[in-house]
Each structure stands twice: as structure tokens, then as C-alpha cells.
Amino acid sequence: MGNRRLPLFFMIIATVIWTTPTRATTDPSGLPLVGENAVAFLKSLPREWSHSSARDCKTYEDKNIDKLAVPFATSAATFLEAYMRQYGEVTITSAYRTAKEQVCVCQGEKGLCAGRPHTVKTKAGRRMVVRGFSRHQLGIAIDVRPGMGSVEEYRCLHMFALLNPQFGVYFPLGSRDYPHMELRSPELRHSRVALPASTLSSACSELNPSIAHRAQ
């Protein structure tokens, strides 16, 4: 019986290894941004309601940061710490969400929202109302706002993630949902994008010169 459990054990270990950044950084105190330190770092960042929905559902509180999946919290903290060293402050506007919180944030939301009910047609020709399932509910997504949240700042943040896949995060919805950041799949973790070295500087050129020059 014991030997039969070994494959599952190794699968779990392999998953943890694959979903952990290959190059960790540290916070200003010198502690690696892994596990509890990563969660503590995320809690240290500015957090507030984005005002994109009708209600403040308070999905940015400690309770929501605590429920993020550990591999994702580690990846997110490592990525944001590296970005902030060069481009300045980032605010967390939403983290883990319960099903109830997901429904709440969709109220009045004009953009994409997985918790919003919608009608689908079944193969039998019937119509039924369903709700989507958000990655926030799995603890592998957070919403972040760079600086003042301008289009230029978001483009810089997205490009920084695109050119640094080793951090393990990405923005899959692009301009359709600028703040939404997710855990990158393991197979894409080590694949670099073939773009000129000047691409990042170009994407971040509209930022405050006192901040943007740090990337040069």
C-alpha cells in the first residue's frame, strides 16, 4: 500500500517545484519572498477598492491575501517586488474571492466578470442561467494597479511580466482587464519571448522619468 502512494507523492512535489519561481528575489529586509514571507510582503503593499464595481466587497483584506495559493503568492510577491524596484508603487485591489464575494464584485462591473450570471443554450435547445468560475476563487489570481493606473503604467507592467516569465505570472486578458494577474502555467515558465532588449524601455518610456530611468 505504501509504495502505491509514492507516484502521487512525487507528483505533488513536482507540482510545487514547477509552480515556484526559478529566480527568487528578496524584500528589503533580506528575507526570501517564499511562503509566509511572500504573504507578508503582499500584505505590506497598498490595498484598496478599485471602484470598478457598484460595491466595495473588501476582497483585498488580510483574509483574502491569506487564502492565496502559496505558489502563486510566492510568484506574485517576487514579481511585484522586482517590478517595484524599477517602476514604483503597486496597489492590490482584489485577491482571493469566495463565491459570494465573486458575485459581489460583478455588481456594476462594466468589464469582464466571471461571477455575472448569463444565459446559455443547451444541446437540447433549452436555456439555462449559469455563473462562470473565476481564478480568484482558486487563489491563483489577484488584481493590481501600478502607480496611478494609467494605460502607460499598465502596459509597462504587462511587458515586464511578458519579458520575465521566470517570475511565474502573466496578464492573460490584456487590455480587456488590465489589473488581472494570474499564475503562469509551468510549461510557459521558461519560454522567453523573442523581443528586442529595448522593448521594455519603450513600453515604460511614458512613465515618470525619475522612475523610468532606473530600468535603463
Q: Give tens-digit pLDDT for 23-75.
A: 445 554 455 677 789 999 999 999 999 998 889 999 999 999 999 999 999 99
pLDDT at 8: 43
Instruction: Give pLDDT tens digits for 82-138.
Output: 999 999 999 999 999 999 999 899 887 776 687 676 666 777 778 776 667 789 999
User: How is the chain split into domains, by residue range?
Assistant: 27-96+137-215
pLDDT at 9: 39
Poorest-confidence range of 30-34, 50-54, 170-174, 187-191? 187-191
pLDDT at 117: 66
Q: Could you tell me the pTM of the whole model?
A: 0.73
CA distances from 20 to 49, 167, 169, 191 (A): 29, 8, 10, 15
Return the half-sphere exposure (C-beta side, CA atoms, 13 A cut-off) of residue 97.
Answer: 26
3-state DSSP of the chain: CCHHHHHHHHHHHHHHHHCCCCCCCECCCCCECCCHHHHHHHHHCCECCCCCCCCCCCCCCHHHHHCCCHHHHHHHHHHHHHHHHHHCCEEEEECCCCHHHHHHHHCCCCCCCCCCEEEEECCCCCEEEEECCCHHHHCCEEEEEECCCCHHHHHHHHHHHHCCHHHCEECCCHHHHCCEEEECCHHHCCCCCCCCCCHHHHHCCCCCHHHHHHHC
pLDDT at 5: 46
pLDDT at 35: 74
CA distance 5 to 57: 42
CA distance 196 to 186: 24
Q: How confident is the model at residue 195 (pLDDT cuts 50, 70, 90)?
A: low
Place of cell 514579481: 79
70 neighbors 33 (Cβ within 8 angstroms): no
Of residues 213 and 172, the one with the higher pLDDT is 172
